[in-house]
Amino acid sequence: MHVDIKRNGAAAILKLKERRLDANVSPELKGEFLVICTPQTRELIVDLSEVEFCDS
C-alpha cells in the first residue's frame, strides 16, 4: 500500500495512493491511522481522490 502523509501544524493529511480500497488494504490503512493519530493531531484529512473502488 502506498500513502503520502503530510503534516500542517495540528493537521495530518493522508493521501491513499491506491486505486482500490478493499479488505487487502484496510489493515495497513488502519496501521497508518494509528501512527498519525497522536494527541497532537487535532485534524485528520483523508484524501481518496485516487481511489476508484471502495469495498463495503
pLDDT of residue 56: 85
- Reported CATH class of domain 3-54: alpha beta
Residues 10, 56: Cα–Cα separation, whole Å: 30
Domain ranges of the chain: 3-54
Residues 10, 1: Cα–Cα separation, whole Å: 25
pLDDT of residue 54: 96
Q: What is the pLDDT of residues 1-56, one digit of tens each?
A: 899 999 999 999 999 999 999 999 999 999 999 999 999 999 999 999 999 999 98
pLDDT of residue 33: 95
CA distances from 46 to 36, 51 (A): 11, 11
